[in-house]
Amino acid sequence: MQKALVQLAEMDKGQGRPSVVSRRAESTEQSINSPEKKMTLVEMQQETIAHWMTYFKKDAKRLGAEELAKQSLACARLTRMEMDSLKLIGLDEEAAWTEARNLFCLAPPPKLERP
């Protein structure tokens, strides 16, 4: 993905920018032809934090930065375990991510009780 972005940036410098359709086709072709990319825990954690900060900003801020990082990493770990289980029954990485993220990463942040 980064390689494609670098190529697009280089094309912008001198030769002109390709159309949106050709960029989409190139992206689709790369994802089909490339080996399956395994999402990292950090990527899942970032997705979780981004979702929480967009849709549950008040709750996410209430957790604080350190607790937000801990809770989002816990969600990422649960998501990875669920994805691995789904892949054992035949789903590919992308389908497993789509199914598992709804259970953990796109759920509201936990409401922790403070003493």
Mean pLDDT over each residue of the chain, to the nearest integer? 77
Q: Output the pLDDT for position 20.
A: 36
Q: How far apart are CA 24 and CA 19, in angstroms?
A: 9
Domain shared by 20 and 66, yes or no:
no
Q: How far apart are CA 60 and CA 47, in angstroms?
A: 13
Task: Tell me the residue range of the domain where 89 lies.
Answer: 41-103
Inside any domain, residue 63: yes
What total number of domains does the chain contain?
Answer: 2
Inside any domain, residue 22: yes
Domain shared by 24 and 75, yes or no:
no
| Residue 12 CB-density burial (10 A; 0-12 exposed, 13-18 middle, 19+ buried) | exposed
Domain shared by 53 and 80, yes or no:
yes
Domain shared by 52 and 84, yes or no:
yes
- Contact of 37 with 83, CB cutoff 8 Å: no
Q: Output the pLDDT for position 114.
A: 64
Domain shared by 57 and 86, yes or no:
yes
Domain shared by 7 and 55, yes or no:
no
Q: Determine which of 13-17, 18-22, 31-35, 73-77 has the lowest per-residue pLDDT on average.
A: 18-22
Inside any domain, residue 88: yes
| Residue 96 CB-density burial (10 A; 0-12 exposed, 13-18 middle, 19+ buried) | buried
Inside any domain, residue 28: yes
